[in-house]
C-alpha cells in the first residue's frame, strides 16, 4: 500500500487542539504522512466545534469545498470529528462529502475507522449514544491510554504543552452545548496527570497548561484521599523541568480558596485566572443558570486580587442573550468596569439546539444590537487594558518566547536575522520584541518601551 497523506483541520478551543495533536501523532505512528494542504491529502479530517452556530457554518462551508475536491479526486476520504460529530451524528454522515463521523470520546478509534473506510469503501460512524448517561468508565480508560501514548511532539510547540485534567461539564449553563457533546465531568487520576507532565518535562517542556471545562471542579478520590486542583498545582510544581504552570478555565461557583492560596504560594503557578462572568445582570445570570449574582462574582474577584497580588484576570461574556434589555447590558458594562480585567472575550448569543435556553426562549435580540453591544463592551475593556498596560512602561518583564510574530507590521524595526518575536508573561500579557528565532521556547527578559490595549512592546534586555 502506498503511504496515504492526511490533512487535519482544527476548529475551536484548546481541548480540540489537544485532541487534534493526539490524533495526528497516532496517525503518524500508523505510518500516515501529515500534510498541511488539503488538496494533497488522501484523507481530510475536520475537528469541529459546536459552541456557536458560526463555528458550525464554517465547517459546512469547508465540506462544500471538499465535495468539489472529491469530484476531481476519487477515493478522497473526509472525516468529521469532535463536538459537531457528536451533536449531529448520522445527519452529518448523510452529507455527500462525509465518510467518517467520530465524537470527542472516540478519538482513539480514528485510526481504525480510517483503516476500515479505506478497506470497505463505505461510510462509518462512532459516537456516544445517550452521552449524559453512558457508561463512561471504559471509554475514559481508553482515552487515558490514548492520551498518554500519543502525547508527543505535536503537543509541544516551543516547549509548551497542554495536559487534560478532566473531561466534560456538569454545570449546564442554559445556553451551552458543551455538556451535551462532551458528556459528564470526569477527572483523570493525579497519577496519570503527573506521569504525563513528567514525560513532557523529560522531553524539554517548560510550561504546562492544565485543561478542563470547569477546572476548579477537579476532584479525584483515591485511597481515602481527595485530590483537588490545588493539589495538582502543588504536585506539578515539584517536577523540576516545569517552570510555569497555567490552568484554564474556571467557573465562578464553588471556587475554592485553596486554589488562590496555591497561586499565591507556589512560584511556578502563573498568576493568571480565566474566570468567565458571562453577564453582569442578575436576571440574565439566573436565566443562564450560572449559579451566582454579579455581587458574588465581584467578591470572588476582590478575594483573588487580595490573596494573589498582581493577579491578571480574564473573562468571557455573552451579549444579546434572549430578552437582554439595555439595562441588563449596562449592568454588564458596570461589572466589566469594576472587575478591571486584563482582557475579555465577548460573544454574541448563538442559539444551540437542545439547550434549555433554545427550548424555552426566543433569540429575540436583533443582530444589529448584538453587534453594537459586542463593540461597546470591547471598547470599555480596551480602555481599561490600555490604561492598565501603561504600568509596564520602563519595566523588565520575563516572557516565554513563542516564536515569530504573525503581525510583524506592529513593530517597524524588523529584519531577517532579528525578526519580530512574540512572547507571553506569566500573567498572559502578550509581548512583542525583536530577537533571533533561535530563542523560541526559551525564557527571556524584555524591557517594555511602548504599550497598547492588547500588546506590550519592548527590547530584549541583554
Binding flags for ligand 5AD, 40-69, as an x/- string (CB under 6 A): -----------xx-----------------
Check residue 248 for interaction with ligand SF4 (CB under 6 A).
no
Secondary-structure percent of the chain, ordered helix, strand, coil, rounded to 5: 40, 25, 35
Check residue 296 for interaction with ligand 5AD (CB under 6 A).
no
**Phi, psi (degrees; rounded to nearest 5) at 448:** -85, 125
Spatial CA neighbour of 261 closest among 225, 290, 237: 237
Whichever of 45 and 51 has its CB closer to ligand 5AD, that residue is: 51
Whichever of 276 and 435 has its CB closer to ligand 5AD, that residue is: 276
From candidates 12, 179, 212, 423, binder to ligand SF4 by CB under 6 A: 179
Spatial CA neighbour of 424 closest among 315, 317, 262, 314: 314
Spatial CA neighbour of 87 closest among 203, 197, 176: 176
The nearest distance, CB 212 to ligand 5AD, in angstroms, is 13
Identify which range of 102-110, 140-148, 298-306, 347-355 contacts ligand 5AD by CB under 6 A: 347-355
446 binds, among ligand SF4, ligand 5AD, none (CB under 5 to 8 A by kind): none
Check residue 284 for interaction with ligand SF4 (CB under 6 A).
no
Whichever of 107 and 176 has its CB closer to ligand 5AD, that residue is: 176
Helix axis angle for 136-150 and 190-202, nearest 10°, is 10
Q: How many residues line the site for ligand 5AD (CB under 6 A)? A: 12
Identify which range of 116-124, 300-308, 343-351, 422-430 contacts ligand 5AD by CB under 6 A: 343-351
- Residues 62 and 79: beta-carbon distance below 8 Å: no
Q: Cα separation of 233 and 331, whole Å?
A: 35
Kindly state the cell numbers that stand for 117: 473506510
**Phi, psi (degrees; rounded to nearest 5) at 274:** -100, 105
Check residue 175 for interaction with ligand 5AD (CB under 6 A).
yes
Q: Which residue has the cell 467557573?
A: 251
Q: Cα separation of 296 and 279, whole Å?
A: 12
Check residue 318 for interaction with ligand 5AD (CB under 6 A).
yes
282 binds, among ligand 5AD, ligand SF4, none (CB under 5 to 8 A by kind): none
Distances (CA, A) of 164 to 132, 210, 218, 246, 334: 20, 6, 11, 12, 34
DSSP element (H, E) containing 458: strand 456-460
Helix/strand/coil for 44: strand
59 binds, among ligand 5AD, ligand SF4, none (CB under 5 to 8 A by kind): none
Whichever of 41 and 298 has its CB closer to ligand 5AD, that residue is: 298
Query: What is the distance, to the nearest Å, from the Cα of residue 371 to the centroid of all Cα atoms in its chain?
Result: 24
Check residue 171 for interaction with ligand SF4 (CB under 6 A).
yes
Whichever of 171 and 268 has its CB closer to ligand SF4, that residue is: 171
Identify which range of 74-82, 141-149, 348-356, 429-437 contacts ligand 5AD by CB under 6 A: 348-356
Check residue 178 for interaction with ligand SF4 (CB under 6 A).
yes
339 binds, among ligand SF4, ligand 5AD, none (CB under 5 to 8 A by kind): none
Q: State the virtual CA torsion across 292, 297, 299, 302 in degrees, nearest 10.
A: 160
Return the DSSP state at 394. T
Residues that bind ligand SF4 (CB under 6 A): 169, 171-173, 176, 178-179, 213-214, 251
Residues that bind ligand 5AD (CB under 6 A): 51-52, 175-176, 276, 278, 316, 318, 347, 349-350, 352
Amino acid at each position: 500500500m502506498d503511504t496515504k497523506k492526511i490533512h487535519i483541520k482544527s476548529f475551536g478551543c484548546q481541548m480540540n487542539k489537544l485532541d487534534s495533536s493526539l490524533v495526528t501523532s497516532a496517525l503518524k505512528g500508523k505510518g500516515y504522512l501529515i500534510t498541511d494542504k488539503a488538496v494533497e491529502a488522501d484523507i481530510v479530517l475536520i475537528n469541529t466545534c459546536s459552541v456557536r452556530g458560526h463555528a458550525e457554518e464554517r465547517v459546512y462551508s469547508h465540506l462544500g469545498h471538499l465535495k468539489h475536491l472529491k469530484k476531481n479526486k476519487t477515493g478522497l476520504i473526509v472525516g468529521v470529528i469532535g463536538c459537531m460529530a457528536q451533536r449531529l451524528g448520522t445527519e452529518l454522515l448523510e452529507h455527500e462529502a462525509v465518510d467518517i463521523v467520530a465524537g470527542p470520546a472516540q478519538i482513539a478509534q480514528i485510526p481504525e475507522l480510517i483503516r476500515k473506510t479505506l478497506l470497505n469503501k463505505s461510510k462509518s460512524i462512532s459516537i456516544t449514544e445517550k452521552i449524559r448517561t453512558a457508561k463512561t468508565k471504559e471509554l475514559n480508560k481508553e482515552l487515558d491510554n490514548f492520551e498518554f501514548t500519543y502525547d508527543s511532539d505535536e503537543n509541544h510547540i516551543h516547549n509548551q504543552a497542554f495536559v487534560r485534567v478532566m473531561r466534560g461539564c456538569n454545570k449546564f449553563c442554559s445556553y451551552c452545548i458543551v455538556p451535551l457533546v462532551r458528556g459528564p465531568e470526569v477527572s483523570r487520576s493525579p497519577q496519570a496527570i503527573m506521569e504525563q507532565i513528567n514525560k513532557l518535562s523529560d522531553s524539554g517542556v517548560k510550561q504546562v497548561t492544565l485543561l478542563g471545562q470547569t477546572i476548579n471542579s477537579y476532584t479525584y478520590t483515591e485511597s481515602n484521599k481527595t485530590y483537588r486542583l490545588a493539589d495538582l498545582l502543588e504536585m506539578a510544581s515539584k517536577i523540576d523541568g516545569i517552570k510555569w504552570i497555567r490552568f484554564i478555565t474556571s467557573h465562578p461557583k464553588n471556587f475554592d480558596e485553596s486554589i488562590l492560596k496555591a497561586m499565591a504560594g507556589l512560584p511556578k503557578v502563573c498568576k493568571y485566572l480565566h474566570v468567565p462572568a458571562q453577564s453582569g445582570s442578575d436576571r440574565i445570570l439566573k436565566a443562564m443558570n450560572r449559579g451566582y449574582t454579579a455581587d458574588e462574582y465581584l467578591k470572588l474577584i476582590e478575594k483573588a486580587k487580595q490573596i494573589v497580588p498582581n493577579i491578571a484576570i480574564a473573562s468571557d461574556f455573552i451579549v444579546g442573550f434572549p430578552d437582554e434589555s439595555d439595562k441588563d447590558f449596562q449592568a454588564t458594562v458596570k461589572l466589566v468596569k469594576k472587575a478591571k480585567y486584563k482582557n475579555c472575550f465577548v460573544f454574541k448569543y448563538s442559539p444551540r439546539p437542545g439547550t434549555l435556553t433554545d427550548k424555552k426562549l426566543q433569540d429575540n435580540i436583533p443582530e444589529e444590537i448584538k453587534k453594537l453591544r459586542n463593540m461597546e463592551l470591547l471598547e470599555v475593556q480596551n480602555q481599561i487594558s490600555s490604561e492598565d498596560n501603561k504600568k509596564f512602561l520602563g519595566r523588565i518583564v520575563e516572557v516565554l518566547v513563542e516564536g515569530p510574530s504573525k503581525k510583524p507590521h506592529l513593530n517597524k524595526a524588523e529584519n531577517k536575522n532579528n525578526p519580530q518575536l512574540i512572547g507571553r508573561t506569566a500573567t498572559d500579557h502578550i509581548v512583542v520584541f525583536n530577537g533571533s528565532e533561535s530563542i523560541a521556547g526559551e525564557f527571556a527578559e524584555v524591557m517594555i518601551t511602548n504599550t497598547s490595549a492588547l500588546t506590550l512592546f519592548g527590547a530584549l534586555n541583554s
